[in-house]
Amino acid sequence: MEGVNATLLAGWSLAALLFAAALLAPLGGGLRRGAHLASAAMTVAAAVTLYSHDVMALPQICAALIAGSAVGLALGRGVPRSALPSLLGGFGGLAGLAAVFLAGAAWRDPHAFGLLDEMTDRLRMEAAAAIGAALACGAMACAGA
């Protein structure tokens, strides 16, 4: 994998592992531990995102963080505790829908995502496989499967 920053790869891998551990934590009865692992995963993902982007995009990133935090705070305080599992399921579906939209955007404009082969100017095979996997996983998460 030429051109991939090792720090970014390690950061995203750590975030993915923390998310997976957060999903498995409630199976053992540790809902609070799962929530803490998910929070840590989001923190790592946000830090990696901030590290990977240009300083020029910082105002948009900060605006998105503030808007998302405000929506999460409003929903978290306004929803009764008995409805929190449904709310979390809905957020999982929205994350899946976001993955579907991201895969569609990457398929529509692969040059913007750096997915084209420099020699042939065609979509690389591993990029096409990654787009397909993101689309499939996002669709399953959105559908609740």
Residues in the chain, pLDDT under 70: 1-4, 28-29, 55, 141-145
Rounded (10°) angle between helices 6-24 and 31-52: 160
Distances (CA, A) of 136 to 8, 38, 105, 122: 24, 22, 14, 22
Token reading at 101 = 């939209």
Q: What is the DSSP letter of 56?
A: G
Helix (H) or strand (E) holding 54: none
Are the C-beta atoms of residues 87 and 75 closer than 8 Å to each other?
A: yes
pLDDT of 4 reads 63
